[in-house]
Amino acid sequence: MDRLNIGLVGYGVVGQGVVKALKNRRKFLREKYETDFFVKTICDRSISKKPNPSLDQTLLTSDYNVILKDSDIHVVVELIGGLSPAKEIVLGALRAKKHVVTANKALIAECGLELFKEADANGRSILFESSVGAGIPIIRTITEGMAGNKFNGVYGIINGTCNYILTAMSKNKLTFSQALKEAQEKGYAESNPTLDISGMDSAYKLAILVFLTMGKFVNVKDIYVEGINHISHDDIEFAESLNLTIRLLAIGKKIGNQLDVRVHPTMIPKDHGLATVNGVDNAIFLDSDPLGDVFIEGQGAGQMTAAMGVVADLINLGIRVDAPACIWAFNPADEVANISLRKIDEVETRFYIRFMVIDKPGVLAAITTVLGQHNISISSVTQKQEDKGSTVPVVILTHQVNERQVKEALDKITDLAVVRGRPVAIRMEKL
């Protein structure tokens, strides 16, 4: 088409980046794609307090209904985040026969299937490249570039805040608190970083990736999620000595007709590509058939990084907006049948377990006795040598073991008089 009229809802950091990109590249985009990408209306509830976009003929409003009712607008860009009123805006746009572009991970993860059905019913599409990995083209890689492949697993470092903190702890020897403070000072972490460091941000993104690769919408509440705030320098140093690296890993694996879906700190081999992903970068590793292993990495945060993912979606709409919906854009209205979620207690993996114990004879025997009672096979034991009577770390690596067995054993070991605090257990993944 000659012109794509855009209605933007949400003029925050990313929204301003989108406007900046479209404004600065308008001539370039028009010449390259023979389409004029025109921001017709910008809506924000605090629009009077936001920077003036300095766009000729662009309407500014605080009422999103102005965009929904405008028959000249072809696509609504939703960048307000959260579920409400974002869901109402997206549904309203689709019912008004408008395409939708969004970066809203929570909306797609929680309501994606409902929205895709609505898009299908109205002959429109939802594009959401920036919902995972910001501008990294992972959505398009999965749905277009790798169309026809079967996916056995997806593994991702998909939260820049956590990756920055773990990198700073490892490379700069900072404590968790110091690394978090530094991330906040540099703008890589929110003043309230709970969504990031708890692992929930990664869980939303993982739910999207699992649906795209394996065809099952997993309720975010059913994903096992564990954050990084319990990771210490002892754990990082022990990992280094074992030629491993700790990363907050989002994991989705297909095992028969079950999905193993979880987010938690994970020890991975240092020679794997994911172990080399540092700072705020994101990366996704795909295990596919017949293509094999595919690895994609890039900046996963930042105004223009996220904005360019939105712009890419707009370009795809601009050059193909008249194509039948749901043929070229991946908005399926149905799930793959007969796939269930494997509960975390049923998962089997290797564990790194760090115990803080009083350094005296018999301690190791007491711990290994409990592990043996729960059929936990030990691969190796490491203990730092300190003065007797002091509290020292003891690290045990297990062979493959059931999650439930580990949890029950640690509950009993925590109650031992010689153990100080809850043991730290970190899963190990062979990629």
Catalytic center residues: 205
Does residue 200 contact residue 225 with C-beta atoms inside 8 Å? yes
3-state secondary structure 272-336: CHHHHCCCCEEEEEEEEECCEEEEEEEECCCHHHHHHHHHHHHHHHHHHCCCCCCCCCCCCCCCC
**Side chain identity, residue 207:** A
Instruction: Give the contacts of 290 (CB within 8 A, at least 6 positions apart).
Output: 149
- Residue pair 209/252 in contact (Cβ under 8 Å)? The answer is yes
Q: CB pairs under 8 A, 24+ apart, for 407-415?
A: 407/345, 408/374, 409/370, 409/371, 409/373, 409/374, 409/376, 410/353, 412/370, 413/355, 413/367, 413/370, 413/371
Identify the burial level of 375 via C-beta atoms within 10 angstroms of its C-beta, where 0-12 means exposed, 13-18 middle and 19 or more buried. Answer: exposed
CA-CA-CA-CA torsion for 14, 303, 104, 125, nearest 10 degrees?
Answer: 70
Exposed/middle/buried for residue 243 (C-beta within 10 Å: 0-12, 13-18, 19+) = exposed
For residue 185, give the amino acid letter: E
Give the helix/strand (H/E) hosting 211. Answer: helix 200-214
Measured CA distances, 297 to 70, 155, 212, 278, 280 (Å): 39, 12, 18, 10, 11
Contact between 102 and 329 (Cβ < 8 Å): no
User: Taking CA 166 as the corner, what is the angle to CA 163 and CA 169, rounded to the nearest 5 degrees?
Assistant: 145
Q: Which of 216, 288, 201, 294 is nearest to 248 (CA)?
A: 201
Cβ pair 4, 35 in contact under 8 A = yes
Beta bridge partners of 327: none
The phi, psi pair for 327, rounded to 5°, reads -90, -45
